[in-house]
Amino acid sequence: MRAVILWTCGLAYAALAAGATTSTPGNCTANKRKAWHKMSDAEKTAFIDAELCLMDSPPKMGLEGPNSRWDELVYAHLVQSNFIHSVGAFLPWHRYFVHAHEYILQTECNYTGGHPYWHESLDVGALNESSVFDPATGFGGEGGHCVDDGPFQHLVLHLNQTSLHDNACLHRSFVPETFALAKQENVDACMAAATYEEAWNCLIENPHVAGHLGVGGTIADIVASPGDPLFYLHHANLDRLWWEWQAANLTSRLYQISGTNVPPQSYLDEENFEYPSAALRDYDGDPGNVTTLNHTLWMVGLVPNATVGDVMDLHGRVNCAEYVY
């Protein structure tokens, strides 16, 4: 069994129960989230510098394992991976996680832009030529067992699915055939979905898999994937696509949610995950195993807890964001 599910850090689970729902008072000025290939070199540098700032910033939360604020973000995903994947809250949780990342960059590392996204469908057929892998203005490339160019070359990661004290190198291993799942034809099929559950399953099956398994390496690890900075651009893009589906019919889709709170046993077995502990199941705000708008999204104290209902509106006070095309 993956040891991540066995970690019962008292501080983490105490924060889980204590976190309050968050909201931003009054009106907000939306963060303009741009596609990476549309950003200026100065904008790209500002974002990467802010990421490096997080990696150099000491941890704040007193958790076992994290050596930096960056590690604490990875921890938030890692410690509940058996509860945020293959469930109804998958898209809302990752939407709020992208927001948390954006908020911390802005409030702790002087980043003034909105969260960028990787417009992945444009790079199908030429993955290795994508601007996100540029060594000078992007995230670096493959590099075999360790990314060896760009701003994150030789980046050492401390957390994985079996250890809180690892020292592995950020790595990537491109699989262009898998990345082809991000093609526009597949995106269009997701946009044609009639219900949230259909759209969610479609987005997971194609664009989501493309970004993780098509890039490969660290980002392909379902538990520790946020160790690759590209994770956040990938999930911002997935969030953009979900918002595009919502925005096509806000009247019926803005607050449409469904699915279960616990992944299917077949999925848990496939990923070698343990059944989610009571510490996770009991806080979520749903009395049964059906995901509702009351479902609590836990960020391990990075930002206050929110509910699914709080984050459904991208333009609302919690997210306060807009994807720029």
**What are the tens digits of pLDDT across the range 81-101?**
999 999 999 999 999 999 999
Closest CA to 10 of 55, 70, 62, 51: 62
Q: What is the mean pLDDT of the chain?
A: 91
**Dihedral angle of Cα 65, 68, 73, 77, to the nearest 10 degrees:** -20
Identify the weakest region by mean pLDDT among 17-31, 262-276, 301-315: 17-31
Q: What is the mean pLDDT of residues 94-121?
A: 98
Q: How many CB atoms lie within 10 A of CB 264?
A: 11
Instruction: List strand residue ranges (DSSP E) for the chain, in order.
Output: 31-34, 156-157, 168-169, 296-297, 306-307, 321-324
pLDDT of residue 322: 97
Which carries the bigger pLDDT value, residue 244 or residue 22? Answer: 244
Asked whether 174 and 220 are in contact (CB, 8 A), the reply is no
Answer for the pair 160, 196: CB distance below 8 angstroms, yes or no.
Answer: no
pLDDT in tens, 13-35: 444 444 434 434 346 789 999 99
Of the listed ranges 117-126, 153-162, 208-217, 276-285, the one predicted with least confidence: 153-162
Instruction: Name the band, by pLDDT with cuts 50, 70 and 90, for residue 167.
Output: confident
So what's the pLDDT on residue 28?
Answer: 79
First to last CA, the chain: 42
Please state which of the ranges 178-192, 243-257, 267-281 shows the lowest mean pLDDT.
267-281
Arithmetic mean of pLDDT, 265-282 = 94
> What pTM was estimated for this model as a whole?
0.94
Domain 3-124+180-214+228-324 is classified in which CATH homologous superfamily?
Answer: Di-copper center containing domain from catechol oxidase (1.10.1280.10)
- C-alpha 291/C-alpha 309 separation (Å) is 11
| pLDDT above 50 (res 59) | yes
Planar angle of CA 150, 154, 156, nearest 5 degrees: 130
> Which pLDDT value is given to residue 27?
65
Q: What average pLDDT does this structure show over 299-313?
A: 96
- Rounded CA gap, 295 and 242, in Å? 18
- For residue 199, name the pLDDT band (cuts at 50, 70, 90): very high
Angle (CA) 127-158-84 rounded to 5° is 70
